[in-house]
């Protein structure tokens, strides 16, 4: 299949130059269902992007769509700020019974605003309020959002430069294997904390992704995460896990940190917590940290009731019996095998892969190749994006509901795209 890009005159004439995804996928999309998107010219695309992880249950999931339509048709509350509504109550009860209690997690739930960066801002603000300190430690190649506080703990130089002002009160440390295993874990971090001449103010918190999605699919080892949790406890720092892209089952368990056996002080969720792609985010934290004054942190759209409806339906449908986790891990093995075969076929390209669950990355020695592979994949009907500071990694984020057959179709298309750009 060869796809001819349509005329995009209205987008080019009227929309800001800041647009990005549409440049790599020059199509006008019209419909979407499950793992597929369809453009207005009738071309079909298998979606291994899933709204950057916001569509773990696929496009227009029929169960979630039915719940949403029923709610709208009965004139359920759409906008409620932080007022009590039946939709919010149903979500909170379902979240407590399906997610928190089975994992023995004591968290309070905060609705900080509709996007992931809202949740990160709330988490950073709360950590500073609790500890009475301003410094936050983040990690190399981290990505936590595009607002100023979140940017200050983000590693990507291009995105940081867009702030236009100094980004302060954040200090980066080496992520797991950043130094290729040549230095013991946290050696530099511990030394700075101990040394009164280091220039590092005592941090209020450490914020980390267990798998860095935008940073290049960098997977932290469970022992590294446990070591970090221990360091935070010993040094009186709060541990914030940003699970915005890797939570809601992306790595297998509902929370990406479960495998490490740690309990963060604060957790941020967004993207697929709403289930249907509707904007919603959460900040979860230990009860003793809940020292907010009423209205001290708020937002007009923190009461997205349609998202509460689809979120509750997603939890009821996919997380009540443990099957989603098992399926995701099985699908992950399928992806890993296919990527292994691609790397074995293209040894001369220096190809290597990494990932967990249903988030995977494919990297080449020539860092320009990932963009070429993604471009050819689009021409062949597969949506995949790049990640990493130099866009050097082909990033795979298929819906968790993808079938084994759809996954195989997409992986075969990816293998062809690599072969045809080699």
pLDDT for 175: 98
CA-CA distance, 286 to 265, in Å (whole number)?
6
HSE value, Cβ hemisphere, 13 Å, CA-based, for 186: 18
Q: Among residues 104, 75, 77, which one has the least CA distance to residue 89? A: 77
List phi, psi (to 5°) of 207.
-115, 135
Contact 3, 27 (CB under 8 A): yes
Residue 388 clears pLDDT 70, i.e. is over it:
yes
pLDDT for 7: 57
Q: Among residues 337, 420, 325, which one has the least CA distance to residue 375? A: 420
If pLDDT is split at 50, 70 and 90, which confidence band does 411 have?
Answer: very high
Q: Considering the chain, what percentage of its residues have pLDDT values greater than 70? A: 98
Mean pLDDT on 36-52: 97
CA-CA distance, 321 to 324, in Å (whole number)?
8
Residue 341 clears pLDDT 60, i.e. is over it:
yes
pLDDT tens digits for range 267-318? 999 999 999 999 999 999 999 999 999 999 999 999 899 999 999 999 999 9
Q: Which residue has the tokens 């990160």?
A: 120
pLDDT tens digits for range 77-132? 999 999 999 999 999 999 999 999 999 999 999 999 999 999 999 999 999 999 99
pLDDT for 122: 98
227's enclosing H/E stretch is helix 222-234
If pLDDT is split at 50, 70 and 90, which confidence band does 422 have?
Answer: confident
pLDDT for 4: 53
Q: Among residues 171, 223, 214, 130, which one has the least CA distance to residue 393? A: 214
pTM of the model: 0.96
Residue 3 clears pLDDT 80, i.e. is over it:
no
pLDDT tens digits for range 197-235? 999 999 999 999 999 999 999 999 999 999 999 999 999
């Amino acid at each position: 299949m060869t796809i001819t890009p349509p005329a995009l005159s209205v987008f080019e004439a009227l929309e800001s130059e800041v647009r990005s995804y549409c440049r790599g996928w020059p199509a006008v999309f019209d419909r979407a269902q499950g793992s597929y998107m369809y453009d207005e010219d009738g071309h079909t695309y298998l979606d291994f992007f899933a709204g950057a992880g916001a569509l773990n249950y696929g496009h227009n999931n029929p169960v979630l769509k039915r719940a949403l339509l029923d709610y709208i048709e009965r004139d359920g509350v759409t906008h409620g700020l932080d007022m009590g509504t039946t939709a919010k109550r149903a979500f909170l009860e379902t979240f407590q019974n399906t997610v928190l209690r089975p994992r023995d997690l004591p968290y309070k739930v905060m609705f900080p605003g509709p996007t992931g960066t809202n949740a990160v801002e709330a988490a950073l603000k709360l950590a500073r309020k609790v500890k009475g300190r301003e410094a936050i430690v983040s990690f190399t190649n981290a990505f936590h959002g595009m607002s100023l506080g979140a940017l200050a703990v983000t590693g990507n130089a291009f995105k940081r430069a867009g702030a236009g002002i100094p980004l302060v009160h954040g200090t980066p440390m080496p992520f797991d294997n950043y130094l290729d295993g040549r230095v013991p874990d946290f050696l530099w971090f511990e030394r700075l904390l101990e040394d009164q001449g280091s220039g590092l103010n005592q941090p209020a918190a450490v914020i980390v992704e267990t798998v860095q999605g935008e940073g290049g699919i960098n997977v932290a080892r469970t022992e590294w995460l446990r070591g970090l949790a221990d360091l935070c406890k010993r040094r009186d720092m709060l541990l914030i896990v940003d699970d915005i892209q890797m939570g809601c089952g992306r790595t297998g368990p509902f929370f990406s940190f479960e495998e490490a056996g740690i309990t963060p002080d604060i957790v941020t969720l967004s993207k697929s917590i709403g289930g249907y792609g509707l904007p919603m985010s959460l900040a979860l934290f230990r009860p003793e940290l809940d020292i907010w004054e009423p209205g001290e942190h708020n937002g007009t759209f923190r009461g997205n009731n349609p998202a509460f409806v689809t979120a509750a339906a997603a939890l009821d449908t996919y997380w009540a019996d443990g099957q989603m986790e098992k399926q995701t891990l099985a699908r992950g093995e399928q992806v890993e095998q296919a990527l292994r075969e691609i790397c074995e076929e293209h040894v001369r390209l220096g190809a290597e892969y990494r990932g967990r669950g249903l988030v995977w990355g494919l990297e080449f020695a020539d860092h320009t190749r990932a963009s070429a592979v993604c471009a050819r994949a689009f021409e062949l009907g597969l949506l995949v994006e790049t990640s990493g500071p130099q866009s050097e990694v082909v990033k795979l984020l298929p819906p968790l509901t993808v079938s084994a057959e759809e996954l195989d179709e997409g992986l075969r298309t990816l293998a062809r795209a690599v072969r045809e750009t080699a």
